[in-house]
A and B are shown apart, each in its own frame.
Chain A
C-alpha cells in the first residue's frame, strides 16, 4: 500500500509505531506535488528543502516525546490567506504578492505545536472571494477528478491538494461556503466550525463576522482530529469562544438511533441538479437505515439569505481590505504622483475584478443614505435567520442538504455571470450568517465521474453530532477512493 493512500490518523499511527517517518511522509507528498501540481496548481508556494528540514525536526520531536498527538508527523497544506511566519502569504492577490508575515496565525502555531509538517500554501480565490478558485491572481486550480473542471472555492487549492494526495490534510477558510462547497466538488471532508471555535488571528480577513478556519481531510476521523488541534480560545481573538468539548476524536461513533434529521423543503426545489438531489435523498435513506428519523420542514427566509450575505460580507470586506494601500507592505504602483494617486493606482492595479466588485458593493451599502436600507436590513435578515435556525434546532439535531446546487462546473464557465455564481452559494451562506457548524461529507460520484458531497448543519457547538452522523454516512456509503488512489488500482 502506498503511503499516500493512508489517512492522516493512520499515517500518524504508523509514524508512532516507527513503521515510517515524518520525513518519508513529507517526501512522498513533495514527490506527489512534483508529479501532479504542474497540472493541478493546487499550491502557490512549496519550499521542499524547508519541508524536509521541518519533517526531520518533527521526527526527532516524536522520538523525544515532544509531539505525541494523533496527527504528529502528518504533512499539511495551508490556504494562502492564513499567515505563516517567514513564508509568503498572498491571498492569491497581486497586492500581497511579496508579503511575508513575521508572525504565524494562531491556527498555524497550533498545527506546528501538534507536530504537523507544513507543506506549503495553497491557491484560492483572491481574498477568498469566489466559488471556483478562478479569481486567483496566479492562475486557476484544476479539479483532480477531472482537470477540465474547477475544484470549487474559495479553498479550491486546499481541497484539490487533499483530493490529489499532495497533502494528507489542509486548512481552509469558510466565509460563505469556501470549505464546504469545494469539499463537495473535490470529494473530501471539510467542516466550517461554529463561529469562534478556531482563532481568526492571522487569518487575513474577508468578512470578520463570517470567517472561520476549518479542516479539510480525506475522511471524517481525520477531519475531527484536525479540528481538535485547531479549536480553542485565543486571547488574541476577542471573538473566539471558550469550549471544553473540543475532543472531537473521542466523540466518534455512528449510533444514529436518537438523531432527528430535518431537510428544508426549499433546498430540494428550484435550481438544483438531479444528481445533487439524488445524493441528498440517498443520504436521507442511509440515515433512516441507521435508525435516525428524517423529516422535511420549511426553514424559510432562504430567498433572502444570498442578498443579506453579499451585503454583509461585502460591507465588512470593503473595510477589511482598506489596509492594502501600498503604504506599509504589499504592492505599490511604480508610477504614482502623490498620496491619492498612489492609493488609487496601487489598489486599481493590485486587486482583481471580483475583489473590486465586492469593495464597491460594500462601500455602497455602508455609505450614508444607504446604510439603513441595505446594511441594517441585512443585519435584520441575519437575526431573523438565526431565529429560524433556533426553531429548526428545537426540532432537529441536524439539517441535511446539498453543499452546492451542482457538481463541479467546467473551468471558464462561472466568472462571466457573477450573479449566478453568487446564487450558487445558497446552501452554504446561512451557516455563516447564523454562526453554525457545517460539514460536507462525500456521498456519491455522478455520471461524469465527479464527486458530490452532502452538507450537514448543526446547532452552535454541535460539531460532535455532525461528526457522528458523518461516520454513519461513511459506513453505509463504503470506502471512498480519491482519484489518485483509483489510478493506482487501475495500474
Chain B
C-alpha cells in the first residue's frame, strides 16, 4: 500500500485586544448586552463611514515583526462582498491585494528538532456580528456588538505535516500574541479561530494534492481529531481510486466528524475591490522601528535566560514563561530582592497550586510581586518559618495583605529571645532522658525528634537554627 503524507496550512483569525473597534469608537468588549456597543458605522447604517483605528495597525505590525514578516509599507483595505445578516454592510472590510505583512516564519519544536513554519501573509480585517437563532419564535436575531472588532488573519504556508505540528504552531502563535499583548488568543471564546487546509499526497510526490478547508474548530482536541479524521477520509478516497473534491467542510463537535459545506463550484465570488472610503496606509520606517523597539522579550529568550542567569531548570522556566503575566510576576519579585530560585519555587509551587484550585489565570493574580518578595525575605531572615509563610501567602493570594503587618497583627513572629528558648529546650531535654542516652550513643537523629517537641512547645515561633543550636548546647553539657 502507498504511504501518504499530510500537508497542512492554517488560516488563523486572531481578535486584537484594542479598547475600541477597528473602524469606529465603539467599545470592543465581550459579554455586553446585545447591540449596546454599536453605532451607525458598525451597524451598517446608511451614510456611515469607517475611520481606521491606528492601534490596530500598531498591533498587526507588532504581530508581523514578531513572526519575522516583511512589511508592506504601502497597504490598503479591500471590500469582500457577500450577503449575510451578521455582516451589516454585506461587505467585510479586509485586505486582499496589499496586506500589511507577508513572507515570515516561526520556529516550532518537534520531536525531531526545530522546524520553520512559513507565514504567507497577515492581514487586518473586521469581525462580523453574531446570529442567535430563537427556536421558540423560529426567527434569527442579530447582535452587532462583535461587528467591527479588529482581527488579524495569519495565513501559514502549507508547511505542517501532522496534528502535533499544528498544535505546536498554534501554541507558538498563542504565546507570541499573548507576549505582545495584542490578543489573549482563546480558542473556546473565539478570540483565536483556526481553519485547517489539508491535503494528502504519496510520499515522494512534490505536487500538492487537492485540499479541503475545515472550519468551526473550537479546541485543540477538535483540531487534532478533525485532522486525523480528514487525513483518513482523503487517503481512503484515494485508495479507492476516487478523488478528493476541493470543498469547505464544517466540523461537528458532537458528532466528532466534518461535513461538506460547499464545494469549489459554488464558491462565492467576493468581488474584492479597494475600499474607496479608506485611504491607503503608509507605514514609515520610523513607524516600523518604533514598533521594533516595543517588541518585548519573547518566551524563547526568557526560557534560555532563566536557565542561564537564574540557574532554573528547563521545566521551571517553562512553567514560569507559559504566561507573560507569570513571567513578569517572577521578574518583578526578583527585582524586589527575592532570591530567583526561591521566587521560582513560590510561583511554580504554592501560587500555581492555588491558581488551579481557585481557577485563576496569571493575569488575575492579586498579590503584588513586592509583597511576595517581602514574604520570601521574611523566611530567609527566619522571622517566620515556612509553614507560617504558607498561611500568610494564602491570605495574600486573596487580598494582597502586607506580610509583615499581617504577621505582627497575628503574632506569628518567631521567638528571638534566646533565654526563653534555652529554658524551653532545657525542659524538653530533661523530659526525654531516653533521647539523651541515644544521643550519647551517637544517634544524631534524635535531634530531629527533640526539635519537633521544642517547636510544638514554642507554637512554631522558634527559629529552627536557633532551636537546634540550643538543643545541641544542652545535650553536649550532659
Contacts and interface: CB of A to CB of B under 8 A. Distances in A.
A117 B102 CA distance: 53
B89 A201 contact: no
A413 interface: no
Contacts, number: 100
B439 to A, nearest CB: 85
Contacts of B89: 322-323
A236 B277 CA distance: 11
A236 B90 CA distance: 21
A204 B50 contact: no
A310 B279 CA distance: 22
Interface stretch (B38-46, B230-238, B407-415): B38-46
Interface string A307-336: 000000001101100111101110000000
A316 B277 CA distance: 10
Contacts of A366: 81, 271-273
Given A319-B79, A322-B83, A366-B271, A101 B50 contact: no
Interface stretch (A24-32, A242-250, A367-375): A367-375
Nearest to B267: A368
Contacts of A204: 46-47
A83, A323, A329: which has the most chain B beta carbons within 10 Å?
Answer: A323
The residue among B40, B43, B271 with the most chain A CB atoms within 10 A of its own CB is B271
B91 interface: yes
A328 B271 contact: no
Nearest to A205: B47
A393 interface: no
Contacts of A329: 45-46
Nearest to A367: B269
A236 B47 contact: no
Interface string A357-397: 00000010011100100010000000000000000000000
Contact of B276 (A102, A209, A322): A209
B354 interface: no
Nearest to A364: B271
A422 interface: no
B64 to A, nearest CB: 22
Contacts of A328: 43-45, 88
B49 A323 contact: no
Contacts of B45: 101, 103, 328-329
Main secondary structure of the interface of A (DSSP, over half): loop
B279 A323 contact: no
Interface in A187-240: 200-205, 207-209, 235-239
Contact of B277 (A202, A239, A325, A367): A239
Residue from the set B49, B51, B272 with the largest chain A CB neighbour count within 10 Å: B49
A105 B47 contact: yes
B420 to A, nearest CB: 74
A201 B273 contact: no
Interface string A86-105: 00010100001001011101
A325 B86 CA distance: 12
Contacts of A102: 40
Contacts of B44: 323, 328
Determine the main DSSP class of B at the interface with A: loop
B307 to A, nearest CB: 49
Interface in A337-375: 339, 343, 363, 366-368, 371, 375
Interface string A259-285: 000000000000000000000000000
B83 A319 contact: no
Given A319-B79, A322-B90, A96 B46 contact: yes
B85 A323 contact: no
A136 B394 CA distance: 74
A378 to B, nearest CB: 11
Q: Which of A327, A366, A371 has the most CB of B within 10 A?
A: A327
Contacts of B85: 325, 327, 339
Contact of B81 (A101, A239, A322): A322
B278 interface: yes
A237 B46 contact: no
B260 interface: no
A368 B273 contact: no
B48 interface: yes
Contact of B142 (A322, A327, A363): A327
Given A83-B46, A103-B45, A204-B46, A323 B51 contact: no
B269 A323 contact: no
**On chain B, which size bracket covers the interface?**
20 to 34
B52 interface: yes
- Most chain A beta-carbon neighbours within 10 Å: one of B43, B44, B83, B276: B276
B51 A235 contact: yes
A423 to B, nearest CB: 24
B47 A101 contact: yes
Contact of A343 (B83, B140, B273, B276): B83
A462 B441 CA distance: 110
A350 to B, nearest CB: 13
Interface string B15-48: 0000000000000000000000000100111111
Nearest to A91: B46
A238 B271 contact: no
A202 B47 contact: yes
Nearest to B277: A208
A367 B271 contact: yes
Contacts of A103: 40, 45, 47-48
B66 to A, nearest CB: 28
Question: Which of B46, B79, B83 has the most C-beta atoms of chain A within 10 angstroms of its own C-beta?
Answer: B46
Given A204-B46, A322-B89, A238 B269 contact: no
B278 A101 contact: no
A319 B79 CA distance: 8
A316 B278 CA distance: 13
Contacts of B91: 319, 322
Given A363-B271, A367-B269, A316 B276 contact: yes
B273 A319 contact: yes
A238 B52 contact: yes
Contacts of B142: 327
B49 A201 contact: yes
A368 B267 CA distance: 12
B83 A238 contact: no
Nearest to A315: B273
Interface in A120-170: none
Contacts of A83: 46-47
**Most chain B C-beta atoms within 10 Å of own C-beta, residue among A102, A207, A316, A319:** A319
A201 B269 CA distance: 29
Nearest to A202: B47
A316 B45 CA distance: 17
B226 to A, nearest CB: 27
Given A322-B83, A325-B83, A203 B47 contact: yes
Contacts of A209: 276
A238 B40 contact: no
A208 B49 CA distance: 10
A422 to B, nearest CB: 21
A315 B45 CA distance: 20
A91 B46 CA distance: 10
A368 B276 CA distance: 19
Interface of B: 40, 43-52, 79, 81, 83, 85, 88-91, 140, 142, 269, 271-273, 276-279
Given A103-B48, A315-B273, 5 more contacts: A105-B47, A328-B44, A328-B88, A363-B271, A375-B273
Interface of A: 82-83, 89, 91, 96, 99, 101-103, 105, 200-205, 207-209, 235-239, 315-316, 318-319, 322-325, 327-329, 339, 343, 363, 366-368, 371, 375
27 contacts: A83-B46, A91-B46, A99-B46, A103-B47, A200-B47, A201-B48, A201-B49, A205-B46, A205-B277, A207-B276, A238-B51, A239-B276, A318-B271, A319-B79, A323-B44, A323-B46, A323-B88, A325-B83, A325-B90, A327-B85, A327-B142, A328-B44, A328-B88, A329-B46, A363-B271, A366-B271, A366-B273
* 6 A-B pairs with least C-beta separation: A322-B90, A209-B276, A366-B271, A208-B276, A202-B47, A204-B46
